[in-house]
Structure 1
Amino acid sequence: MTDSHQRVSSAAADGALVLTVNKRLFRYLRDRFDQYMLDKGKSVWSTPLIVSYEAWLSQCLSDLGESWRLLSHHQQQCLWEEEIATSSRGSNLELLQLSKTAEKALQAHQLLNQYHLTLDNQSLTEDQRIFHVWQRRYRKRCQEREWLDQSNLPDRIIAALENGQLQLPEQILLFGFDQFSPDLLQLLDSLEASGSSCEIVTVEADDAKMMSFAAETNHKEIEFAARWVRSLLDQKAKSIGVVVPDLHMRRRQIERIFRQQIDPVSTISLDGDDSIFSLSLGGSLVDQGVVYAALECLGLGRQITLDQISFLLRTPYLGGAGSEADSRAQFDKKIRSFRQQKFSLSGLLNAIAENSELEIFSNILKKLHRCQQDNDKHFPGVWAARFSDELYTLGWPGDRSLLSSEYQAIKAWQEKALSVLVSLDRLLPPIDRKRALNLLNRISGDIEFQLEGSAGPVQVVGLLESSGLHFDHLWVMGMGETVLPARPQPNPFIPLKLQQLNDMPHSSPARELEFAEQVISRLKAASPDIVFSYPLRDGDCDLRPSPLVPFCTEEDRPTFAEFNDLSSLIQSSHQPLSKKDDWYGPSLHKKFVEGGTGLLKDQAHCPFRAFVHHRLHAQGFSEPTPGISPMARGDLVHLTLEKIWKQLQNRNHLLLLSDQERIDLIQLMAENSFKLYFKGRSVPVAELLKLEIERVTILIREWLEKVEIKRDYFQVLETEKQHIEQIGPLNIRIQIDRIDQLENGRCIVIDYKTGADLHAEDLLSKPLIEPQLPIYAVADSKSAVDGVVFAKVRRGESRFIGVVKEKGQLGRVRDLLSYPQAKDLGVTSWDELLLFWQQQLAQLADDFVAGKATVNPYDLVKSCQYCDLSGLCRIQETDSQAGVTDDC
């Protein structure tokens, strides 16, 4: 225990009042005092008068019987937002970010109060004049209601001292203050005048061992600090501090890396409540899973996004999450297959109605639907009670036993967030549901949540929170030149000259330098063993250390433990690894499998993809797209063309139609196709449907007029007819978009495509990566197929692409002999092509049945660019196709 801490504990034992700069120092000194009394041999002692300065002011107000007058921070913020919103309504100021503006305005108001200043008779900018109006109205409202905010308390306590209304200890100590505002100095003078002896306790720096350390990046700096901590823990160090200036921004990264290096088991533990280190800056309450789930459920509207639906299905914090887990996962996959970004609650209920295994989830959706019917306005407290009741009916926080951290988060949300919402009753008129939810979200976001329990030997704290603390070992990270001294950030609502004349915080470079020097001086006294670190680079920018970091003459570097994260431990393991190449799954015994021609296409592109998709039945989730998905658009074009040709049947009937009749036919068939397609699906908005019908009508009109009319006579024999064909040992279900019979009786197989990337050469590849058209060509000899083509139905690019037996059979479609790929394969006739296709298809079927699952893509672009399994096969970790099989 340092001399200053000894002084504080001794004075507290004698009944002195000790005021700390923050709550963390208050807890720290209370722990120190308890240890001090134990060292004195005491077993029982009175609670010392150690309290944070802010809490002491509030207690004094309570002693005066006026605690009802004090506005909390959230109440002040709410009042400022109300004032700004009312004053700005109907003007350009409505574009302001209300919450951020209110925050800056409240900060300016408190600064002016602390420095006993006013903006009267000051030269103001337009923004400052507007703020001045806001402040006058805010003060008037507070005076009318006799409200006080935190910045008014010192003046109220001074007045009470002058009137003899407060009884104070003879001795008052202030500890941990880097700076003193004018209102605090005035209060100290008043305390002295009232007979109390006030003493500012400072910590004198001893001869500390100091080192500086440069890390390559921010990430490396955190990693080195964690390994340094680990080495000290291995030496049984009892008090280790890590100071991080921007802890609020880097909290998640620091927590992750420190857990990996210091407590790796906690990274895979189901209960992460206990750890041997703690971060002083707890996360936001809204980031706690159980609270986030509550706010997500309450905030659902009549239109729900796919992400929101998926969250409801996956969260463990709703009723039935355990018993319906598998069914909800299956429904999550199903709902994603619709590729829609938004769903109506009623539409979602219809989609789930036939699933008896989702009864609990269906009831949850019905309850959510009923909750949204309340469009009335209520006081915030009424909304708090309603929100609590709604969550109870939804089964929140779930059926499973809660972790300690979850229990504490629920308790904090109920006692802090909901209670703050109730406290706004005296400030706000009745509000609607949306406003109440916005307030509750912001309140939950502002509340800092930190797990209860004793802190371990390692404390990670922010720069200001470290004030007054003492450690056996201390690491101060992030000491770059842009951190200390920081750049000035004057408040925009107070004239800069007024701020600088009164030496307000963040008002000038000189003020920031003075504060930075005080902080460095204080840090030097915080430990006998200190490391100051800084990163050398941030992205592409080179960084330099702060000029205030002491120059260290020690040549030795800090001692670091070996990497302790699980990944490094596994890699450094000396256990011999055996390598075995096994690219075959079990053989397939049944002949008919689902998947159709897509199965053989996957097998050709990559055997691994075929095995995962069609043997393991595993696929990536479908991604939603704005409006109607490209897949749905393609299906609608297919369906419309099918209906058109079922009615027309041949080219002559098409020619008999006038231009207007043709347009009317396309329009009618498109409308019927859309009705049929969206029957049983979530229907897009009417405006979007109208636009899509118009788009399909224009597209098909172009196709008919620029391609079909210009052809020679043809008869449409089949459209969208399904066949089951035997390919090698497999029975494959195929669906041919269309088969045309030419005037000479020969047939052309047509496959509609609406995409841009089409290559006829893919019909002549080895392996055969476009098997659909060849399957029919070799499977049905009765049809006398003389050509297989893609019908590219695309605006401005409509044409046939493929291969025909003889030149001129289908316009400009190339014949077999015009393809150099055919020559490379040794295919010189149509019969040889049919034989080649037959062999390729049979080989693909044989490989699939044998269980071949090699990661061996046909082409890294064609096969892998849009594949959903890249994260599973890790194809991108290889440098070339040749290394795929060996490395995966």
Structure 2
Amino acid sequence: VPENNASRKLRSYADESAMWRAAGHWARELLQREPTARIAVIAPDLDADAVSISRKVREGFAPGWQTAGERYRNAVDVSYGMPLSAYPAIAVAGMCLRFAASGLSSTDVSTLMRSAFLGGGDHHARCRLDLQLRAMPDRHWHPDNLLAALPRPKNPDRGVDFQFVLSELAALQQRRNDRQFPAAWAKKIDEVLIKIGWPGVEQPDSATFQLQNRWRQLLNELSQLGAVGTRMSLAECVGRLLQIAGETVYQPESQGGGLRVLGMLEAVGLEFDHLWLGAMDASRWPAAGNPLALVNRQLQRDRGMPDASPLDTLQFSQRILQRILGATGSAEICWARLEDDKALIPSPLLEVGQAEMHVDKGDPQWHAALQLGAATTVIPDDDAPPVQVGELVSGGAYTLQAMREEPFKAFCKGRLHARELDLLQPGLNARMRGVIVHGALHHLLRELPTLAQMRRWDDTERNERIDGAAWFPLAPLWSQADPVLRRLLQLEKRRLIPLLDAFLQAECQRDDFEIAGVESQAKLAYGPVELRLRIDRLDRLSDGALLITDYKASDAKSFLDTKRGTPKQLQLSVYARALENDSVGGLQLIYLSSREITYRGEGGSIPLGKADAGNWSELLETWCAEVDVLLQRFAAGETGLNAVQEIKNARPLALLSRFAELSNAD
């Protein structure tokens, strides 16, 4: 450190966030007093954490930059580039090329569908396609088989739809095994990206325009490989292109921000009027040595190679610090006293005893936190309107089940048609397995066989019917499956066959019945509310009463809620209310698991539960009355929250309901 340190000040802060916020605030005040001053903030570890450091400096220099637009964001110029492949637009371009060359997982395809860097098509249509993709088993997709699996667009003229993107990538996929020179592939890649609307901006700003030009320079670099290389396939070409992109450090030209944030080495040789030198604690400066691991250490010392010894590293750090401080008029040298739970001390290269010392000076705090005490506008509660005539209500019986648990959930899912995104998981998730089991049972009983007929099936006929039923829900998935998924489907069929066999054995042991319907459609209307229902199965019992059945592909659970005295699942009560013109003799759940087939239910005409013929009608009417009350509340627009539920149960809709905020307020 120069001997004359009269213009050097030392500052310490509680943590790094406070230190960098104070740096931005310090620079802001200086520029307001001296608009032409040369000011910079220097961070020793800028290369390791450039995004976080720049964000914290902006917090002090341009409070509220997150919502103030691009110009406010560019007020701080961070002089550190990233690998070209790390820029989102380049990452999407690389993903498209990998899709055509070797395919992508469902997760990556979902990212492409929702990307703003591909064309200007209907964003809502792409989101709907993403929902359909999430309903399919996760697999390795290629453009051609994904194009075949997705429906054609209804409005193909609305910009660049994703099916068009797939068709162009599928055409490139068909040529993936061609052996061409890099220049030919570079030209084809550029043509395809232009056709699919990359990078998705009709009027690019300066940064986007520079990024496009740098990408095309990268394609030119790829073309030059033909002078020393041979012909290559698309996969080889894409691999080489993305390797070059990952090795290329890029930063768009500066827009001339008011404050520069530099690394230590980059600041050497520059002159400043005012300088903020941050993170100067002993753990960061002097910088850690990095000798070559594959070269003998003594040889490195003999040849005077960088970082050959700790003394060499120390002397290098001293020279860097002296040159930086010697080229500035005034300097603020700062460090944080604490990092996580670790106490920090100032760098031993700083002459702490000869400089002016400040503690926690100039930290403006987080801008958003300062707004909490500002005047607020109280917005009165905006209650949901009653259900209107002709309004579409989705969810069927599940909407009333949600109404029982939390009215707000029923409002979101039944009237706003909100739904949770299916997670993209390898193989067949629980929901898909449930759909497969329901499809197999429907196919097995689609001819509505009587109990006598099922008992007369010999082993051959029984096995043929079971095999056909097990394959029926798997066939649509098989045609679009990759080898891994096909193996999983084969295993699922092997699981279904003994399950269906056990189900038929259990059915044959029941008292006499006739299957009256499978997957039966029904409606339940209450005022303007109309629920569309689909009943898994209806049986006509020997006394003429109707048995309502629903399948559950899970382990058995109790039928009744002992506290309420009503079914835990409202679904069957809703079906009973919809079929009130027919005599309902019982409600039944059939649980199908790999271990056993279990029947749960209540009714006066079935040997399940505690009800008997004498009190069954009254009991069923009580349960149906609950359905009427829930329908009435739903029709009135009730949207109350269940304040006693756990946060994990409220989380899917917590962003809409502000559940956590309201719970903390209470």
Given that 2:22 and 2:364 are in contact with CA atoms closer than 8 Å, whether structure 1 keeps it comes out as: no
Aligned counterpart in structure 1 of residue 498 of structure 2, from 684, 687, 698: 698
Q: CA deviation at 1:551?
A: 2.1
Aligned to 2:236: 435
Between the aligned partners of 1:236 and 1:759, the Cα distance in structure 2 is 76
Say which SS state the counterpart of residue 6 (structure 2) adopts: coil
User: Which position in structure 2 is the counterpart of 1:382?
Assistant: 184
SS in 2 for 1:854: coil
Displacement of 1:449 after TM fit? 2.5
Q: 1:230 and 1:769 mapped to 2: Cα distance?
A: 62
Distance 2:446 2:341 in 1: 63
Residue of structure 2 in register with 1:724 after alignment = 523
Offset at residue 609 of structure 1 (A)? 1.9
Q: In the alignment, does 2:119 pair up with 1:335?
A: no
CA distance in 2: counterparts of 1:838 and 1:498, whole angstroms: 89
Q: Distance in 2 between matches of 1:544 and 1:797?
A: 66
Whether the 8 Å contact between 1:295 and 1:441 is mirrored in structure 2 is: yes
2:81 is the alignment partner of 1:282: yes
The SS at the match of 2:49 is: helix
User: Which residue pairs with 2:424 in the alignment?
Assistant: 624
Q: Distance in 2 between matches of 1:857 and 1:659?
A: 55
Identity percentage over the alignment?
Answer: 26
Tell whether the 8 Å contact from 2:18 to 2:365 is kept in structure 1 after alignment: no
Give secondary structure in 2 for the equivalent of 1:600: helix
Query: Match of 1:635, as an amino acid?
Result: V
CA distance in 2 between counterparts of 1:352 and 1:299 reads 20
Report the AA paired with residue 287 of structure 1: A
Displacement after TM superposition at 1:835 (Å): 3.1
Map 1:651-666 → 2, pairs under 5 A: 651-657=451-457, 662-666=462-466
Shift of 1:204: 8.1
Deviations 1:267-314 (A, max 9, x none): 335645972221111233333344333323222236443444444444
CA contact (8 A) 1:500 1:507 kept: yes
* Whole-angstrom CA distance in 2 between matches of 1:624 and 1:464: 45
CA deviation after TM superposition for structure 1 residue 608, in Å:
1.6
1:402 maps to what in 2? 204
Say whether the 8 Å CA contact 1:231–1:560 is kept in structure 2. no
Q: Deviations over 1:725-775 (max 9, x none)?
A: 334653322222123344555543221111358453459759986221011
- Residue in 2 aligned with 1:52? none
Q: 1:844 aligns with which of 620, 623, 630?
A: 630
2:42 corresponds in structure 1 to 243
- Whichever residue aligns with residue 496 of structure 1, its letter is R
Q: State the SS of the aligned residue for 1:350.
A: helix
Superposed, which structure 2 residues align to 1:576-655 within 5 Å?
A: 576-590=376-390, 593-647=393-447, 649-655=449-455
Cα gap change, 1:274 to 1:715, in 2 (>3 Å): closer
Alpha-carbon distance in structure 2 between the residues aligned to 1:721 and 1:861: 37
User: What corresponds to 2:610 in structure 1?
Assistant: 815
* Matching residue within 346, 349, 353 for 2:147: 349
Alignment match, 2:98: 299
**In structure 1, the residue corresponding to 2:328 is in which secondary structure?**
coil
Q: Which residue is 1:571 aligned to? A: 372
Conservation of the 8 A alpha-carbon contact between 1:531 and 1:558 = no
> Separation in 2 of the partners of 1:230 and 1:210?
18
Maintained 8 Å contact 1:230/1:560: no
Q: Could you say which structure has the larger radius of gyration?
A: 1
Structure 1 stretch displaced more, 396-405 or 726-735? 726-735
Deviation at 1:411, TM superposition (A): 1.6
Residue of structure 1 equivalent to 2:293: 492
Q: Does structure 2 conserve the Cα–Cα contact (< 8 Å) formed by 1:223 and 1:257?
A: yes
Q: 2:282 aligns with which of 477, 481, 488?
A: 481
AA partner of residue 525 (structure 1): G
Distance (Å, rounded) in 2 between the aligned partners of 1:556 and 1:591:
66
Q: Secondary structure at the match of 1:622?
A: coil
Give the match for residue 56 of structure 2. 257
In structure 2, C-alpha distance between the alignment counterparts of 1:208 and 1:766, rounded to whole Å: 81
**Distance (Å, rounded) in 2 between the aligned partners of 1:419 and 1:713:** 79
The match for 1:504 among 278, 296, 305 is 305
1:170 aligns with none
Q: Which has the higher contact order (CA 8 A, sep 6+)?
A: 2
Quote the residue 1:213 is aligned against.
12
SS, match of residue 604 in structure 1: helix
Distance 1:557 1:537 in 2: 13
Change (3 A) 1:311 1:245: same
Alpha-carbon distance change, 767 to 528 in structure 1, aligned in 2, over 3 angstroms:
farther
| Structure 1 residues 646 and 617: alpha-carbon distance in aligned structure 2, compared to 1, 3 A threshold | closer
Distance change (3 Å), C-alpha of 1:725 and 1:390: closer
In the alignment, what sits opposite 1:130?
A: none
SS in 2 for 1:687: helix
Change (3 A) 1:429 1:657: same
- Name the CA shift for 1:536/1:399 in 2 (closer, same or farther; >3 Å): closer
The whole-number CA distance in structure 1 between the counterparts of 2:481 and 2:340 is 46
Q: How does 1:51-450 map to 2 (within 5 A)?
A: 206-216=5-15, 218-236=16-34, 238-264=37-63, 266-268=65-67, 271-272=70-71, 275-301=74-100, 303-319=103-119, 321=120, 324-338=122-136, 340-352=138-150, 354-358=152-156, 360-361=160-161, 362-374=163-175, 375-398=177-200, 400-415=202-217, 417-450=218-251
Cα distance, 1:661 vs structure 2: 5.0
Cα distance in 1 for residues equivalent to 2:467 and 2:122? 45
- Shift, 1:400, TM fit: 1.4
Secondary structure of 1:479's counterpart equals coil
Q: Secondary structure at the match of 2:268?
A: coil
* Deviation sequence 1:169-214 (CA, Å, 0-9, x none): xxxxxxxxxxxxxxxxxxxxxxxxxxxxxxxxx9886533221313
C-alpha deviation, 1:782, in angstroms: 5.6
Structure 2 contact 46–263 (Cα < 8 Å) conserved: yes
Q: How far 1:461 moved relative to its partner?
A: 0.8
Residue pair 2:99, 2:142 contacting (<8 A) in 1 also? no
Between the aligned partners of 2:327 and 2:565, the Cα distance in structure 1 is: 72
Q: Give the whole-Å Cα distance in 1 for the aligned partners of 2:8 and 2:385.
A: 63
Write the letter of the residue equivalent to 2:44: P
State whether residues 285 and 317 of structure 2, in contact with CA within 8 Å, keep that contact through their aligned partners in structure 1.
yes
Partner of residue 597 from structure 2, selected from 776, 798, 816: 798
Instruction: Describe the SS at the equivalent of 2:523.
Output: strand
User: Any conservation in 1 of the 2:602–2:611 contact (CA below 8 Å)?
Assistant: yes
SS of corresponding position for 1:300: helix
8 Å CA contact retained: 2:22, 2:361: no
TM-score scaled to structure 2, two decimals? 0.87
Aligned residues: 656
Structure 1 unmatched ranges of 5 or more: 1-201, 818-827
Secondary structure at the aligned position of 1:636 is classed as: helix
- 1:556 counterpart = 2:358: yes
Verify the 8 A CA contact 1:734 1:772 in the aligned structure 2. no
Query: Does the 8 A contact of 2:502 with 2:596 survive in 1?
Result: no
Distance, in Å, in 2 between the alignment partners of 1:558 and 1:232 is 18
Residue 136 (structure 1) aligns with: none
Residues 739 and 521 from structure 1, CA distance in 2 versus in 1: closer, same or farther, beyond 3 angstroms? same
How high is the TM-score relative to the length of structure 1?
Answer: 0.67
| Contact 1:648/1:654 (<8 A) preserved | no
- CA deviation map 1:69-109 (0-9, x unaligned): xxxxxxxxxxxxxxxxxxxxxxxxxxxxxxxxxxxxxxxxx
| 8 Å CA contact retained: 2:21, 2:58 | no
Structure 2 runs not aligned, ≥5 long: none
Report if aligned partners of 1:280, 1:462 keep a CA contact under 8 Å in 2: yes
